[in-house]
Every structure is written in structure tokens, then in C-alpha cells.
């Protein structure tokens, strides 16, 4: 009975199966990552953002919604390649500024979001200021630089994440209507307070 070749054959077969399983798992992980990531900026996408948002229950939570100002005009005037470059640069800026425990995501189009596990307004004010300044360093042309509008809010006790999203989205709307290039806070009372930049 020739045991050695048979054992060798079994080992080779087992190695082949293991390699196949490893490859399939790798492909599955890649597909999952692609499904959860924005293709252009490599930031987490809306789907991933919503999943993470749903995980927050009683913990401290702050939300920032960020809109690139006049983005349609950038695309119309300079072309979609320039628009894409601006999105990529802003995505890189958010990635750099995002605290380690926070989540930065692209929700779609020119809208981005930050989830930050904090209740400290000073931390958020400082972060927003850095985002506003950093955006200003992104050049669209020799004469034009990027500005952004930011809505921000801290979840209140017993407030749903959907209600928080709605409040902060309204603050973002007020930031855009109030002249852009600024942070507007969503207050507990459903009122909003502008914090002008520059």
C-alpha cells in the first residue's frame, strides 16, 4: 500500500480547499467593504452610516451634517472632473480631522456627515472651525476656494436618531439660507442659532 503519495494527495487537496475558502472569504470581504464604502471618497457610505447610527442608544451622540456650498455651480462651471477632485479632497480632509472614535461618511452628492460620541459643544465647535478652515484651503480655481455649510446637534435624552437627524438637517438648511460658510446649531428647543465664520 503506497501511503506516502496518498497522504501527499490528501494534503494537496486540503491545501487547495483552504486556498479556495480563503480566496472566497477575501472576495466576500471586499464586496462587503465596497457595499459599505463610497467609491469616490473611500469614506463609509449612507448605508454604513445609517447602520452605525442605529447602534447608538443611550450613549452620548453628536451629529454634524455638512454640505459643500454651490457644488452644482462648481460642476457646471469647471466640469465633473473638478467636482470629483473637490469631493475627494474634502473626503480626505474629513478623514484627517475625524476623531478616532467618530465616524465620517459621505451620504451622497455633496453631503457628508460626522457621528461623534460626545456631548461637549466646545469639542464640536472646535471641530467645525477646523472643517471650515480646512475647506477654505481646497482650491477650486485660482480665484475660488471651497466653503461648506454645517448643521450640528447633540442628541437629547430619549430623542430618537431620526429626530436628531431631522433637527440637524434643519440647522444645515438654516446655515445655507443664512449665507453659507458657517455652522448652525440645532438647539434643544427646535430653534437654531447661527455661528458665523470669518
Q: Write out pLDDT tens, residues 51-81.
A: 998 888 778 899 999 999 999 999 999 999 9
Under 8 Å between Cβ of 171 and 63: no
Q: Give the three-class secondary structure for 39.
A: coil
Average pLDDT of span 26-48? 71
- The vertex-34 CA angle with 31 and 38, nearest 5°, equals 170
Catalytic member of 59, 89, 101, 110: 110
CA distance 194 to 153: 12
Residue 103 · residue 114 · CB < 8 Å:
yes
Is the distance from CB of 144 to CB of 154 less than 8 angstroms?
no
pLDDT in tens, 1-13: 566 677 777 777 7
Q: Does residue 110 have an active-site annotation? A: yes
For residue 151, give the nearest of 135, 136, 130, 166 by alpha carbon.
166
Amino acid at each position: 500500500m503506497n501511503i506516502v503519495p496518498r497522504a501527499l494527495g490528501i494534503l494537496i487537496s486540503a491545501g487547495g480547499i483552504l486556498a479556495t475558502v480563503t480566496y472566497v472569504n477575501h472576495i466576500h470581504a471586499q464586496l462587503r467593504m465596497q457595499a459599505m464604502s463610497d467609491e469616490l471618497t473611500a469614506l463609509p457610505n449612507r448605508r454604513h452610516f445609517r447602520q452605525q447610527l442605529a447602534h447608538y442608544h443611550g450613549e452620548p451622540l453628536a451629529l454634524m451634517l455638512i454640505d459643500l456650498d454651490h457644488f452644482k455651480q462648481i460642476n457646471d462651471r469647471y466640469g465633473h472632473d473638478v467636482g470629483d477632485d473637490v469631493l475627494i479632497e474634502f473626503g480626505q480632509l474629513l478623514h484627517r480631522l475625524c476623531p478616532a472614535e467618530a465616524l465620517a461618511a459621505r451620504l451622497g452628492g455633496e453631503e457628508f456627515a460626522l457621528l461623534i460620541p460626545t456631548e461637549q459643544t466646545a469639542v464640536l465647535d472646535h471641530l467645525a472651525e477646523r472643517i471650515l478652515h480646512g475647506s477654505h484651503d481646497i482650491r477650486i480655481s485660482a480665484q475660488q476656494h471651497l466653503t461648506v455649510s454645517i448643521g450640528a446637534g447633540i442628541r437629547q435624552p430619549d430623542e430618537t436618531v431620526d429626530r436628531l437627524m431631522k433637527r440637524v438637517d434643519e440647522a444645515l438648511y438654516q446655515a445655507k439660507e443664512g449665507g453659507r460658510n458657517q455652522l448652525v446649531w440645532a438647539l434643544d428647543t427646535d430653534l437654531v442659532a447661527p455661528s458665523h465664520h470669518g
